[in-house]
Amino acid sequence: MPFPILIDALDLMGTFVFALSGAMLAVRRDLDIFGIVVLAVAAGLAGGLVRDMLLGAHPPAALADSRYLLTALAAGVTAFFLNRQIERVTKPVMVLDAVGLGLFAVAGTQKALIFDIAALPAIVLGILTAVGGGVVRDLLVTEVPRVLREEVYALAALLGAAVVVATDRFQLPEGPMVVAAICLTVLVRVLSVWRGWQAPKAPKPPKPPRTP
Amino acid sequence: MPFPILIDALDLMGTFVFALSGAMLAVRRDLDIFGIVVLAVAAGLAGGLVRDMLLGAHPPAALADSRYLLTALAAGVTAFFLNRQIERVTKPVMVLDAVGLGLFAVAGTQKALIFDIAALPAIVLGILTAVGGGVVRDLLVTEVPRVLREEVYALAALLGAAVVVATDRFQLPEGPMVVAAICLTVLVRVLSVWRGWQAPKAPKPPKPPRTP
Amino acid sequence: MPFPILIDALDLMGTFVFALSGAMLAVRRDLDIFGIVVLAVAAGLAGGLVRDMLLGAHPPAALADSRYLLTALAAGVTAFFLNRQIERVTKPVMVLDAVGLGLFAVAGTQKALIFDIAALPAIVLGILTAVGGGVVRDLLVTEVPRVLREEVYALAALLGAAVVVATDRFQLPEGPMVVAAICLTVLVRVLSVWRGWQAPKAPKPPKPPRTP
């Protein structure tokens, strides 16, 4: 980890952005200040908590270091007071969410590699870190998680995670490659929303023999 | 931990009360005896299991000690046979739920402090221990968790957890303070239901530019 | 563990079958290829991941060994291309699901015993391993998990897990008993579907005093 401070700062930025997405969802669902804070904390920290529980990294970073919680709380308070302003700027929020996705995918994959996880599981842990907070956020208000609804969300995280694994495998210069990985995720995610990219669906039978 | 036996007894009481809430929800949702037991175990044990997974306390208390499972099973069987009687006494059940909330918030925070978690994350773990079982219970039947719907639920747990942290920080006498912390949580929770306290909601735009 | 290779093979078979169930659900819900893969991985691996997190088995088997992920991905791809053929053979799929249930219940209980978990919690961990993937799968598309809806699902897993615990307790020959445990679970599950067995429900009040 040659860039601990950079990674640290990126991690907190990602936490803020994701916590903000949770808090904004809570505002839209008409939850009170406590619901807003709960969803902010869940969306901001759950991805990293699940990653650290799976890796056996105890205590998890988000509990060992109070700054993560303070960051998520700050996002909740920000959304409480400024949600009308934030709601008006959906495009910047979408870009910020893509940045959070890239930051967490990269940080999650790097941490998995540090714990000697193999390439494929490390990529999965990176994706899980990136989408986990959003999954918990959406499940808490009983919505199907965005990662299942939006086409190129997990894929964008996967690309960033794969670049990190390739950097490690081929001993590429870590600094520029981390930046490249984050940018790749952000670019693919933003482009996919902008251009309305669709992933292929399975050809289905004309009428299923039974309902799910 | 100067009161291991007291804490132990409180933990089992909290487990029973929460497991009962899960079993009663299963009865209302017309689930069979297995569904009742599953929801009882989930509601009674999930909060502590998540806390112990996050702390790296292996094996978790609820698995290391069979009494927790037996307690949850007993609650399931109780609800199966006596649900009509229990349903008629909603006020006592609400008070019992508040007691469980206080017990788990205090026990969760104490365990976090024993694992050298800092003040703020210890409070969050206490809240998570207290509300985690209810969250899993509600998610399993695809309801928005009570902690997001009811105003002063997480807050009541937070107050009890904060008293525990203050006790530890300022070296206050642990016995009386633990009792005070539990009473504070119960009091705030019961009063909030009784008086219909509402937490503030965020001022929202007249019409959101897009649906969530 | 006298049969590491057998257990290994059974574990991968169970992973494939459960991953297939997740992928097929994703196809029915009209999710795209990424959603299919996410649900396949969740359904195939979540049970074992939760078991390993609770036991403190780090890193979890499903991450330490890339074959689990590859197996789940293979199931996702299989469902993507062959879902119409698979959908037509619901009975074989149901039997396969029962086999997965038996395999995971046995493997989960065995692993818990290796980690010195007592009999009752070991059975619960076996059940959790067996039904965990399905629970996560169903929650991700906001359905009430099958384990709560279908009568004799958790019970079938419980029977297999109990046989494993009895084998350990009474020093019975492990090879034949493992086979017997899996067969028992499969048999009970398949019979229960075939004969429409129903578990008893709690006698309910004619009209509940309040909605849940």
Summarised one tens digit per residue, pLDDT across range A67-108 is: 999 999 999 999 999 988 888 877 777 887 888 899 999 999
Q: Using CB atoms, which residue from C49, C80, C142 is nearest to A202?
A: C80
B167: helix, coil or strand? helix
Residue B53, chain A, CB below 8 Å: the answer is yes
Which chain A residues are Cβ-neighbours of B115 within 8 angstroms? 59
CB distance C81–A145 less than 8 Å? no
Say if residues C42 and A144 touch (Cβ distance below 8 Å): no
Could you tell me which chain A residue has the CA closest to the CA of C136? A139
In this complex, the chains that touch C, judged by 3 or more CB pairs closer than 8 A, are A, B
Q: What is the mean pLDDT of residues B7-16?
A: 81
> What is the predicted pLDDT for the residue at C165?
96
DSSP A199: -
Closest to B41 measured CA to CA, from B4, B31, C150: B31
For chain B, say whether C117 makes contact (Cβ under 8 Å).
Answer: yes
| Cα nearest neighbour of B147 on chain A | A35
Least confident of A90-99, A196-205, C123-132: A196-205
Distance from CA of B69 to the nearest CA of C (A): 7
Interface test with C, best of A51, A115, A124 (most C CBs within 10 A): A124
Distance from CA of B201 to the nearest CA of C (A): 24
Interchain contact B82–C (C-beta under 8 A): no
Please determine, for residue B121, whether its predicted confidence score (pLDDT) is greater than 70. yes
Q: Which residues 172-211 on chain C approach chain A with CB closer than 8 angstroms?
A: none
Chain B residue with CA closest to A79: the answer is B202
Listed range (B57-66, C160-169, C191-200) with the worst mean pLDDT: C191-200
Mean of pLDDT over chain A: 87
The shortest CB-CB distance from C30 to any of A200, A201, A209 is to A201
CA gap B19, B76 in Å, rounded: 7
Chain B environment of C202 (Cβ under 8 Å):
27, 33, 36, 79-81, 83
Q: Is B124 helix (H, G, I), strand (E, B) or coil?
A: helix
**What DSSP string describes chain C?**
---HHHHHHHHHHHHHHHHHHHHHHHHHTT-BHHHHHHHHHHHHHHHHHHHHHHHT-SS-HHHHSHHHHHHHHHHHHHHHHHHHHHHHTHHHHHHHHHHHHHHHHHHHHHHHHHTT--HHHHHHHHHHHHHHHHHHHHHHTT---HHHHSTTSHHHHHHHHHHHHHHHHTT--HHHHHHHHHHHHHHHHHHHHHHT----B----SS-SS--
- For residue A32, which phi and psi values (nearest 5 degrees)? -85, -175
- What pLDDT is stored for residue C22 in this prediction? 92
| Nearest beta carbon to residue A142 from set B118, B144, B155 | B144
Report CB contact under 8 Å: C204, B84: yes
User: C110-121: per-residue pLDDT in tens?
Assistant: 999 999 999 999
Asked if the C-beta of C89 comes within 8 angstroms of chain A's C-beta atoms, the answer is no
Across the A:B interface, residue pairs with CB atoms under 8 Å apart total: 101
The pLDDT value given to residue B206? 52
The pLDDT tens digits of the residues spanning A6-19 come to: 667 777 888 998 99
For residue B54, give the nearest of A31, A63, A66 by CB distance.
A63
Question: What does the pLDDT read at residue B55?
Answer: 92
* pLDDT category of residue C2 using cuts at 50, 70 and 90: very low
| B119: chain A residues, CB-CB within 8 Å | 66
User: Which neighbouring-strand residues pair with B32?
Assistant: C201
The pLDDT of residue B115 is 92
Contact present, B91 and C91 (Cβ < 8 Å):
no
Yes or no, beta carbons of B117 and A64 under 8 Å apart? yes
pLDDT single digits (tens) B98-117: 888 999 999 999 999 999 99
CA-nearest of C168, C195, C199 to C181 is C168
- A1 part of contact set with chain B, CB < 8 Å: no
Confidence tier at C126 by pLDDT (50, 70, 90): very high
CB contact at 8 A, C88 and C78? no
Does B163 contact C at CB distance below 8 Å?
no
Q: How far apart are CA A160 and CA A179, in angstroms?
A: 10
Which residues from B are below 8 Å from C153, CB to CB?
Answer: 34
Contacts of residue C165, Cβ cutoff 8 Å, sequence gap at least 6? C109, C113, C119, C122, C123
Structure tokens at B138: 């509600």
Contact A88 B135 (CB under 8 A): no
State the ipTM, two decimals: 0.80
pLDDT higher than threshold 60 for residue A207: no
CB contact under 8 A, A121 and C62: yes
CA dihedral C92, C98, C100, C102 (to 10 degrees): -150
C156-188 per-position pLDDT tens digit: 999 999 999 999 999 999 889 999 999 999 999
Contacts of B10 (CB under 8 A, 6+ apart): B103, B106, B107, B182
Question: Cβ B79–C54 below 8 Å, yes or no?
Answer: no
Q: Which residues neighbour B86 within 8 Å (Cβ) at sequence distance 6 or greater?
A: B20, B24, B78, B79, B93
For the packed helices C33-55 and C119-140, what is the interaxial angle rounded to 10 degrees?
160
The chain A residue lying nearest B211, using CA atoms, is A28
d(CA A205, CA C153): 28
Q: What is the mean pLDDT of residues B191-204?
A: 81
Checking if the pLDDT of C210 tops 80, the result is: no
> Which residues of chain A neighbour C49 with C-beta distances below 8 Å?
54
Predicted confidence at residue C196, as pLDDT, reads: 82
Percent of chain B residues topping a pLDDT of 90: 54
Whether A140 and B142 lie within 8 Å, measured CB to CB: no
Q: In angstroms, what separates the C-alpha of C85 from chain B's closest C-alpha? A: 31
Query: CA A58 to CA C61: how far, in whole Å?
Result: 18
Asked whether the beta carbons of residue C63 and residue A125 sit closer than 8 angstroms, the reply is yes
B63 and C CB contact within 8 Å? yes
Nearest CB neighbour to B90, from listed C56, C121, C209: C209
